[in-house]
Structure formats: C-alpha cells, structure tokens
Structure 1
Amino acid sequence: MAGLRIAVFASGQGTNFQALADAANQGRLEGASLELLVCDKPEAPVVERARLAGVETFVFRPKEYASREAYEREIIAELQRRGVELIVLAGYMRILTPVIVEPFYGQMINVHPALLPAFPGVNGIKQALDYGVKITGVTVHYVDGGMDTGPVIAQRAVAVQDGDTEATLATRIHAAEQELLPWVVQRIAAGAVKLAGRFVTIKE
C-alpha cells in the first residue's frame, strides 16, 4: 500500500520542510512521501533544501499571474498530477483563497508559532513576547477560510524565559515546531487523526 503523498508549501528558510524530509527519509512518517515543494519565492533557501532532498518543486512568482486564484489553479493541477493527499503549510506567506482551501479542507494543515487562538496572523512570536505571556508555543491546525482559525490538531507549550528576546524565543519555538509537525504528519499518515466539526481526536 502506497504511503500518504504530501506537498509542502513554504516561502523561506525551510527548516520545517527539512524536518519533514528528514523524518520521511528516516522512516518516521508511516511511509509517507514528500512529492512536491510549492514556493512563491524562487530565491528562498527552501528551494535548495528540496533539491538536495530530491523533492520536485513548483516555484512561481505571484506577480506574473493575474490573480491569486490564477496561480492557485495552476498549483492544484500540479497537486492533482502527483496525487497529493495532504498539504502542509510550513512558513508559506501567501493568503489562500477558497479556490484551493475548499477542495482540500481536511487535507491541509498549517504550523503556527503560538498557542492559537492567541496571537494569530503574522509575528506570532513577537505578539506573545510583547503581550508579556509566560507560556506560548506551537499549534498545528487544519486550514479553513480564516486567519489561523481552523480546528486545532495538536499544540506544544513553550515557556517564555526572563530576558527572552524575539530571537531567543524563536529558537525554542522553531525547535518545538520541528518536533510537533512531523509527529502530526505521522499520525495523519497512520490514519489516527479524525476531524469532526471543530474537534480533532488523535489515536496514540
């Protein structure tokens, strides 16, 4: 039986992509495979990470398209051609439209650097630090039509330490992301994650 076929969407350094690629290569994803990287920035380091990992890429420049919907339709064609069953947003900095969200609802997840519903949107780490919370963390959630509003799959807490800067806190947040995201993908690949309304259950 073939494993889950995954596409990762990313825009930057690609550390979460790397965590998933390493987990797949080490056999920690229940036979799931990374079939495609989708990236909106041709110069992003994640593109080189994908090349080194042997993962195909679809790299595009949004300004070359008439609309978000136009490039999303092209992305969907690429996903369908590869039989992608799960989309993982891992630092993808583009707002998605219903063109891609609706057909992939329940098959698209995102990792966010805060304990949702607190501090959604951009700069979640800075928002938490500026607010003065003692505990923040990481959330992996399903993607719906809102800004980080989809059903929560799993969360991991990260303590804010006295004297933390955005950089020092980010180091621990990103480490938590790189542990939690592959674990969630592994449980999805194992068929252990069930979504019912806003509620997600995970069989151990």
Structure 2
Amino acid sequence: MLKLVVLISGTGSNLRALLESLDQHSALDQHSTPINARVVAIGADTEQANLALADEFGIPSFVIKPRDYENRAEWGDALLDRIQSYEPDLTVLSGFMRLVPPRVVDVLSPELLNTHPAFLPEFPGAHAVRDALAAGATETGATMMIVDNGVDTGPIIEQHRIPIHPDDTEATLHERIKVVERQLLIDTVRRIADGTINLKEIAA
C-alpha cells in the first residue's frame, strides 16, 4: 500500500477530499474502486493549519515552524527528518505555502508532488488565480506536478483547462479550480498506487 505524508498550511480542503476517497475512511464511494493508499501523517508549517483533520481521521500530525530554526536550511532539515520518520512512498504539498529547501527536494523528488491553480507554465507563483484575472485571460487551469527546485517549474503529471467567466472574482474562480485540483490529486494518487503513473519516468 502506498504511504503518503501530506503537508498543509491552511484549511486542507484538497486533503479532505483525498482522505474521503481513500479506502481507510468510511466515506469511500462504494461505487468506485478503492485506492490502495493511505495517509500516514499530516504535517504543517504553522499551528493555524487545519490539523483537526488529522484528529478527525485518526492520523498522526506534526508542525515544523520555520521561526523555531536559525535559517531556512535548518528548518528544511527538521521537516525532512520528520517526513522521513514516517517512511512515506509519496509526499504531497497540498496548499503548503512555503517553498521547501533544496535538500528536501533533492532527497524526496520525484516522489514529491504539488498541485497548482493554473495551467503551467502560465501563472506560476503564489498568486496564480489573481494573476490570471489581472492578465485578462479567458481560461486558466489546474496542474499536478513533481516538485523541483524552481518555482512551479517541475515536470507536469497532468493538467486541465478551466474557463474564466466574465463575472469571476478571485474567490469564485479559485473555488472552481479547487474542484479540479482535488480530482487531479485523487486521480494521481490512485494511478501512482496502481502503477499506471511512474514518477521516475516522468521526471527523467
């Protein structure tokens, strides 16, 4: 069974969707094939993250706060040590709002994934939804990718286009993107677990 550590900074809405799709939880859709994966830990960089999800689903959790360390590299080493203590097959950044340091990427990638609310390489960075609206784009998207040491420059696993409506606000557009992001995350975990996605081949 594929073991996942998932890192969050906020509400964890994408993570909740994943948890509800995994065979470890009673909310599994009985009409779908169980996903041969489980989340073994949920981590965060802030105590404001929704780690109540971990309690709700009976999953261990941890917080590694950057301010507790002398520099970003030391924080990254502590984060990496905690992730590795759970021996995951896959680490997923799900609304994790910090760039992980190079050593974390070098050790964990290509089994280090992230979702992004744009059709990369369009609109990289932390304000992708706002940037798409500011650019007057008529469509944007959602992307599932392998994390590298750039800013949203890693190998793309899958992505989908999403139209931008004339009356969209940042909030309404982001909510529609999240629906697609959640499905991308679930489908990607399913396909990695059943062997139809080979991350090393994608990263090569």
How many Å separate the matches in 1 of 2:184 and 2:201?
21
Helix, strand or coil for the counterpart of 1:41? coil
CA shift for structure 1 position 189: 1.1
Percent identical residues = 34
| Mapped pair 1:68 → 2:66 | no
| Structure 1 residues 1-204: aligned runs within 5 Å | 3-24=1-22, 25=25, 26=28, 30-44=35-49, 46-194=50-198, 195-196=200-201
Helix, strand or coil for the counterpart of 1:12? coil
How many Å separate the matches in 2 of 1:151 and 1:106?
9
Q: TM-score, normalised to structure 2's length?
A: 0.90
CA shift for structure 1 position 29: 5.7
Q: TM-score, normalised to structure 1's length?
A: 0.90
The gaps in structure 2 that reach 5 residues or longer are none
Q: Work out the number of aligned pairs and report it.
A: 196
Q: Provide Cα deviations, 1:16-50, integer angstroms capped at 9, x if missing partner.
A: 11011111122856321101111011122x21112
Whether the 8 Å contact between 1:29 and 1:185 is mirrored in structure 2 is: no
CA shift for structure 1 position 144: 0.6
What is the identity, as a one-letter code, of the residue corresponding to 1:33? R
Aligned alpha-carbon RMSD (Å): 1.6
Whether the 8 Å contact between 1:101 and 1:144 is mirrored in structure 2 is: yes
Whether the 8 Å contact between 2:146 and 2:203 is mirrored in structure 1 is: no
CA shift for structure 1 position 198: 5.1
